[in-house]
Chain A
Amino acid sequence: AQSVAQPEDQVNVAEGNPLTVKCTYSVSGNPYLFWYVQYPNRGLQFLLKYITGDNLVKGSYGFEAEFNKSQTSFHLKKPSALVSDSALYFCAVSSLTTNAGKSTFGDGTTLTVKP
């Protein structure tokens, strides 16, 4: 089985401060890890993914995530948060060896950036 945990339902941060949205995963074999963002009344939008190689992945809108195999984590980060970053963030995992390649999504973390 594969699973994703986003331990925080809600993250609040002041504009201009760094933000972190946490994600841990469990798979058999090597993981493929994704972050998606969902703005209100919209579909999910791809931010970044880790397949292999460099553990630090850079994505859209200044976001980045670090793959940590020993801690089975893939936390999303941004050095300076914007009010417009406020949205629902989903971490997802898929793998070659588990779940027929289908993605498993975490429960989501609502990020609120206050001016």
Chain B
Amino acid sequence: DTEVTQTPKHLVMGMTNKKSLKCEQHMGHRAMYWYKQKAKKPPELMFVYSYEKLSINESVPSRFSPECPNSSLLNLHLHALQPEDSALYLCASSQDFSGQGGETQYFGPGTRLLVL
């Protein structure tokens, strides 16, 4: 099973709302990622978790708060977002993240977020 699932598929939120995106994988992978993708653009890395610990934060604004409750789950908590944060948010996982490159990432279908 090479499936990464994400919920919800779509989310509309106001700038004062608090919401969460969820991601789950059952491949036994120990690394999980959050990406932001604008239409027809490459995905932009936001966070990497390795063995449930935050390994990489690509200077993401604090209105995005990641959480990795266990090795299968990854959340992204959203608060006080701006309209420019509207995008497709992709979760991915890989067997591990060594910092040495070469890991194949498996992506979920994404959550399409609209901030009004």
Chain A, 40-74, CB within 8 A of any chain B CB: 41-46, 49, 51
Establish whether residues A43 and B99, one from each chain, have CB atoms under 8 Å apart when the complex forms.
no
Could you say which of A15-23, A75-83, A89-97 contacts chain B? A89-97
Question: How far, in angstroms, from A49 to B104 measured CA to CA in the complex?
Answer: 8
Question: How far, in angstroms, from A36 to B103 measured CA to CA in the complex?
Answer: 13
Establish whether residues A107 and B41, one from each chain, have CB atoms under 8 Å apart when the complex forms.
yes
Out of B92, B98, B107, which one reaches A101, CB within 8 Å?
B98
Q: How many B residues touch A, CB cutoff 8 Å? A: 26
Residues of A within 8 A of B102 (CB): 32, 49, 51, 94, 96, 101
Establish whether residues A42 and B100, one from each chain, have CB atoms under 8 Å apart when the complex forms.
no
Establish whether residues A44 and B40, one from each chain, have CB atoms under 8 Å apart when the complex forms.
no
Out of B45, B48, B101, B107, which one reaches A44, CB within 8 Å?
B107
* A43-B107, A44-B107 as given contacts; A102 in contact with B42, CB under 8 Å: no
Chain A 86-115: CB-based contact to B (< 8 A → 1; otherwise 0): 001010001110111111011110100000
Query: Looking across the interface, which residue of chain A has its beta carbon closest to that of B112?
Result: A41
Q: A43-B110, A99-B101 are in contact. List 8 more A-B contacts (CB 8 A).
A: A36-B107, A43-B6, A51-B102, A101-B100, A102-B48, A102-B56, A103-B45, A105-B43
Chain B interface residues toward A at CB < 8 A: 4, 6, 40-43, 45, 48, 56, 90, 92, 97-110, 112
Cβ contacts A to B, 30 pairs, < 8 Å:
A32-B102, A36-B107, A41-B112, A43-B4, A43-B90, A43-B92, A43-B109, A44-B90, A44-B92, A45-B107, A46-B104, A46-B105, A46-B107, A49-B102, A49-B104, A51-B102, A90-B43, A95-B101, A96-B100, A98-B101, A100-B56, A101-B97, A101-B98, A101-B103, A102-B45, A102-B48, A102-B56, A105-B43, A108-B42, A110-B40
